[in-house]
Amino acid sequence: FAVIVAAQFPAANFAVMLFHYDGAVDGWGDLPWSRRAVHVAAVDQTKWWFGKRFLHPDLVADYDYIFLWDEDIEVDGFDPMRYLRIVRKEGLEISQPALDHRSQIHHRLTARARRGGTVHRRFYKTAGGGRCYGNSTGPPCTGWVEMMVPVFSRALGYCAQGDRSSNVGIVDSEYVLHRGIPTLGDGGGKGPAPKAKASSATSADRYAVRLRS
């Protein structure tokens, strides 16, 4: 999937930095976009480990937006230029494409709105636990994105300020499919995923990732 994702971003408008958690850099040399990409390798490290060390504020200041994405994303029909036009128009400093309903979805806020539309910034839940209302001011109801496909404006370099219920949002009209394939630590996804990891990630799994980052 990483090959397809990287190829979706035109060279005239985007720079590509590929984080190799399996240490295998040479195997990418035959791809047309690989020579223009920056390759960083550290075995068994997470995306956030790489991001915090190699996306320094002085570096990201040269770019309008940073797409810090996982590799298990399908981007059929996703247009990054259309996406950025929407983000600019909506004033989103932190955003993500909505997740297709076939995706592995952990939080309903990130799912594509069934009613259509361009962007949503909150969702509503009026029954059961974890209720979300129109006056809710924080996660999981509004003001955040999930870690698999975040997009940051230059705000990444100085910490986003302001009303997060306004400047953080989900773009419904440009959506992706999240496969939720566990690859970290299994040789880069070259073999079958361990059965214990085949189901959706647990909160313990996500906590372990945060610790390693």
Write out pLDDT tens, residues 116-148.
Answer: 789 999 989 888 888 889 888 888 889 889 888
Whole-number Cα distances in Å, 101 to 8, 35, 130, 143, 172: 21, 35, 21, 21, 11
pTM score, whole prediction: 0.80
37-54 mean pLDDT: 89
Distance CA 111, CA 121 (A): 11
What is the predicted pLDDT for the residue at 46?
A: 86
Transcribe 9-60 into DSSP letters. S-TTT---EEEETT---GGGTTSTTGGGSEEEE-TT--HHHHHHHHS-HHHH
Q: Which of 45-49, 76-80, 116-120, 155-159 has the lowest mean pLDDT?
A: 155-159
Q: Provide the residue range defining the domain that includes 127.
A: 2-212
Number of domains present in the structure of the chain: 1
A 10 A CB-CB count for 32 gives: 9
Task: Return the SS3 of 90.
Answer: helix
pLDDT grade for 29, boundaries at 50, 70 and 90: confident
187: alpha, beta or left? (left if phi > 0; alpha if psi -120 to 50): left
Q: Give per-residue pLDDT as tens, 50-106.
A: 888 888 888 888 899 999 998 889 999 899 999 999 999 999 999 999 999 998 888
Q: Which residues does 105 contact at the CB level (< 8 Å), separation at least 6?
A: 99, 111, 178
187 pLDDT exceeds 60?
Answer: no
